Amino acid sequence: MIGAAVLFLQVAAASRMNLVVKQGEAEKSVPMIATVSGSYLRADLLANALGGTAAAGQKGRYVLTLGASRIELTEGVPFVKVNQEVVPLVLPSLRSGSNFLVPFQLAASIIPRFTTGYNYDLGAGILRIFSASARRVADVPERAPISGTSSSLPSASPSVDVSRPTRSRRSQRRLVVVDAGHGGPDNGMTGPIGDGPRIVEKNITLSVAQMLAQELRGSGVDVLMTRTTDTLIALSDRGRIANSNHGDLFVSVHVNASGTRSAAGARERGYETYFLAEAKSEDALRVEHMENEAVKFETGANAPKGDPLSFIINDMAQNEHLRESNDLAETIQDGFRHFHPGHDRGVQQANFAVLRGSYMPAVLVEIGFGTNPLEAAYLLDPDNQHTIAGSIAKGVMAYLDHYDARVGGGNH
């Protein structure tokens, strides 16, 4: 399975002349070097494009340093050591004259999986850098609107108050990580069941996440989005992005789906908010399996390692993240009760892969059922999307106010 996935990466690489490395709007290219075995990159050029360094060692060894990560390779050996972890390579590193060559797999899957701040977009053939461009900085001015989106959002329903709360007590800006579920080849759910306008989860989540980001920025917090385009981000990398940028909260936006394509399934509707813990109901377990299926779109190297849930929960409980995540979920869920036409399905808990690696209060919001024809039409409406985003933003800000009041001044 892993070998087949990497072979696919090699075939995809063979169709391109360069690896594109992008950080914000800045772009660099690293030439591909084709061999009879597969595609390679010059190690020094790759390290330079990624903002790191490269140095030759003794006995055919070569070291790339990317931030806090140390990557060691040896000529002719099909393994790479990333910090203290040894990872197999499909192709060994090579030397051509004075140049040390590394397999394309290193850039496409190893670096994004085992170091922080990088993600490879297979469809676009772009290795994106997140950490330096999206790092939280205290006392920075409000960030510009998301590239490619309108500076003004659709007005909310007049019957719903989505006015932006102000932050009077906080002396330090927070960073909220907003995660648009799915993306790229992973469409998420599609619907509805029966007649109605077609809905694709990855498009709805991105639209709502962009609106949510803009609402939060307008309320005085910094925002980092795990994706701003239709691209695949590994489930494990979403939490990694949040952690490496020292996020304060993690909010993942999703669209729900019934467990059956029957007429009864088409009638299911409503909203619910999850935090990370062992699922307590069959329905929560069903949603957990549905959302975690996104891992099948990831390469073997990008797939999460499956750390025991008990370890994560113990770590979160020790740091009060579990309780805080529950409080955040309750606050967001309460906001939906004032406007959403669907049923209140309550605050739930489940073992979502996207939440496992977020060492901060983290929630997953199911904003409605795309399999229900009426609710699918509701979710497709930009005004309703803005109302949903505004409500989540208000919930986030209310939670932060409550947290500040409890700990005294917002320093944590």
Which of 129, 150, 184 marks a domain boundary? Answer: 129
The verdict on residue 213 lying in a domain is yes
CATH of the domain at 195: 3.40.630.40
Count other Cβ atoms within 10 Å, centred on residue 85.
9
Domain that holds residue 319: 175-407
Q: Which residue, chain included where needed, has tokens 């996935």?
A: 5
Within a domain: residue 142?
A: no
Quote the pLDDT of residue 301.
38
Highest mean pLDDT among 140-144, 237-241, 265-269: 265-269
Choosing from 129, 163, 195, the residue where a domain stops is: 129
Residue 112 sits in the same domain as residue 210: no
Return the HEC string of 47-109: HHHCCCEEEECCCCEEEEEECCEEEEEEECCCEEEECCEEEECCCCEEEECCEEEEEHHHHHH
Q: Does 290 have pLDDT greater than 90?
A: no
Task: Please indicate, yes or no, whether residues 334 and 248 belong to a single structural domain of this protein.
Answer: yes
Q: Are residues 6 and 75 in the same domain?
A: yes
Q: Which of 10-14, 131-135, 251-255 has the lowest mean pLDDT?
A: 131-135
In a domain, 138, yes or no: no
pLDDT recorded at residue 145: 31
Residue 374 has pLDDT above 50, yes or no: yes
With respect to residue 225, please indicate whether it lies within any of the assigned structural domains. yes
Identify whether residues 104 and 30 lie together within a single domain. yes
pLDDT band at 318 (very low <50, low <70, confident <90, very high): very low
Neighbours of 157 (CB within 10 A): 15
| Residues 193, 104 within the same domain | no
Length of the chain, please? 412
CATH number of the domain at 96, please.
3.30.457.10
> What confidence category does residue 350 fall into, taking pLDDT thresholds of 50, 70 and 90?
confident
Residues 103-108, mean pLDDT to the nearest whole number: 90
Residue 268 lies in a domain: yes
Residue 308: pLDDT over 80: no
* CA-CA-CA-CA dihedral for 201, 202, 205, 206, to nearest 10: -150
Query: Which one, of 383, 404, 405, 366, lies nearest residue 221 by Cα?
Result: 404
Give the whole-number percent of the chain exceeding pLDDT 70: 74
Q: How far apart are CA 51 and CA 111, in angstroms?
A: 13
Q: What's the number of CA atoms in the CB half-sphere (13 Å) around residue 319? A: 14
Confirm if 291 and 340 have CB atoms less than 8 A apart: no
Comparing 375 with 156, which gets the higher pLDDT? 375
Range 93-103 average pLDDT? 91
Structure tokens at 194: 């029966």
pTM of the model: 0.56
Pairing between strand 362-369 and 271-276? antiparallel
Clarify whether residues 180 and 122 are in a common domain: no
The verdict on residue 271 lying in a domain is yes
Element (H, E) at 368: strand 362-369
Q: Does residue 185 sit in the same domain as residue 325?
A: yes
Please say if the pLDDT value at position 127 is more than 60. Answer: yes
User: Does the structure show a pLDDT above 60 at 131?
Assistant: no
61 and 191, same domain (yes or no):
no
Whether pLDDT at 132 is above 50: no
C-alpha neighbours within 13 Å on the C-beta side of residue 360 = 25
My answer on whether 189 and 307 are in the same domain is yes
From 98, 114, 129, the end of a domain falls on: 129
pLDDT recorded at residue 304 = 43
pLDDT value for 17: 80
In which residue are the tokens 């790479």 written?
80
Domain-embedded: residue 369:
yes
**Does residue 218 lie within any of the structural domains?**
yes
Please choose, from the candidates 385, 406, 399, 408, the residue with its C-alpha nearest in 3D space to the C-alpha of residue 330: 399
Write down the pLDDT at residue 146: 29
* Same-domain check for residues 181 and 125: no
Average pLDDT, the chain: 78
Q: What is the pLDDT of residue 268?
A: 94
Same domain, 215 and 80: no
Domain count, the chain: 2
Q: Are residues 52 and 198 in the same domain?
A: no
Residue with tokens 């659709």: 154
